[in-house]
């Protein structure tokens, strides 16, 4: 599927495919507390190298996004033009000046989940491989998110706009010296933005997502100098 060369019209769904993310095995090891690479046991370092390539090979990175105008954004929350609304004090702080938002669903795909499950098979349990696959998945989704932000910036730049930081259900945000959590249950309304779209991610009753290494949220679009 081709990458769009312009931001889709308001209400239209865009699809961004960043390609295979590069998973650095050294970053994987550092995440797990290995600071001096010379002291890492060869078998552990080799496993990290193998898993980083294996994880990247099974990832099918993709981002679905939709541009939606903002009707109102104040201390009570944010209301979008399609009728979806979220209540939280943090929106006024982090999305101030945004006349539009871009709602996103990001995933590395089902293949990584299948690999992790395979490593946890009762007959061939490989805990280190499963652990490193999970870590590789986290690094992968981080890489995809960065690629999308860069892509989004290029799309809206000609309009004199830039994306704000991402906000997502289940995360906490600093506001006036305290923390405001955006309820994970708001995933349901966020997914409603893509009503009728055949997404590669589904929402569980718990509001967690499958595939597991998936991410949702929204970016405000503000003037470039804000």
Q: How confident is the model at residue 116 (pLDDT cuts 50, 70, 90)?
A: confident
Distance separating alpha carbons of residues 6 and 155, to the nearest angstrom: 5
Token pair of 191 as six digits: 């997914």
Q: 3-state secondary structure string, 151-181? A: HHHHHHHHHCEEECCCECCCCEEEECCEEEE
Distance separating alpha carbons of residues 179 and 202, to the nearest angstrom: 28
Token pair of 151 as six digits: 């892509």
**Which run of H or of E encompasses 139?**
helix 127-156
Mean pLDDT of 169-190: 93
Tell me if residue 208 falls in helix, strand or coil: coil
Within 8 A by CB and 6+ apart from 29, the residues are 37, 40, 44, 45, 48
- The angle, 0 to 180 degrees and rounded to 10, between the axes of the packed helices 42-58 and 110-119 is 140
Q: What is the model's pLDDT at position 226?
A: 56
Could you tell me which CATH class the domain 13-223 is placed in? alpha beta
* Residue recorded with tokens 């690094």: 139
- Per-residue pLDDT of 16-38, as tens digits, reads 999 888 899 999 999 999 989 88
Within 8 A by CB and 6+ apart from 28, the residues are 48, 51, 52, 132, 135, 136, 139
- Per-residue pLDDT of 197-211, as tens digits, reads 999 999 999 999 999
Q: What is the model's pLDDT at position 3?
A: 46
Domain definitions of the chain by residue range: 13-223
Within 8 A by CB and 6+ apart from 187, the residues are 169, 170, 203, 207, 209, 216
Torsion on CA atoms 143, 198, 165, 2, rounded to nearest 10: 60
């Amino acid at each position: 599927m081709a990458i769009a060369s312009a931001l889709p019209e308001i209400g239209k769904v865009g699809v961004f495919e960043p390609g295979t993310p590069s998973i650095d095995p050294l970053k994987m090891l550092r995440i797990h507390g290995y600071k001096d690479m010379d002291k890492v046991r060869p078998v552990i370092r080799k496993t990290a190298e193998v898993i980083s390539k294996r994880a990247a090979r099974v990832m099918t990175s993709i981002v679905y996004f939709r541009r939606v105008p903002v009707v109102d954004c104040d201390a009570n929350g944010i209301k979008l033009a399609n009728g979806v609304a979220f209540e939280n004090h943090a929106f006024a702080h982090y999305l101030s000046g945004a006349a539009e938002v871009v709602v996103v669903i990001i995933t590395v795909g089902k293949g990584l989940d299948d690999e992790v499950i395979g490593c946890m098979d009762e007959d061939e349990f490989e805990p280190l491989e499963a652990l490193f696959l999970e870590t590789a998945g986290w690094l992968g989704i981080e890489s995809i998110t960065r690629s999308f932000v860069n892509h989004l910036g290029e799309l809206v730049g000609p309009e004199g706009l830039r994306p704000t930081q991402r906000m997502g259900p289940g995360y906490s945000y600093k506001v006036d010296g305290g923390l405001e959590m955006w309820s994970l249950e708001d995933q349901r309304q966020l997914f409603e933005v893509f009503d009728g779209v055949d997404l590669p991610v589904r929402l569980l009753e718990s509001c967690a997502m499958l595939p597991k290494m998936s991410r949702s949220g929204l970016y405000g679009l503000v003037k470039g100098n804000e």
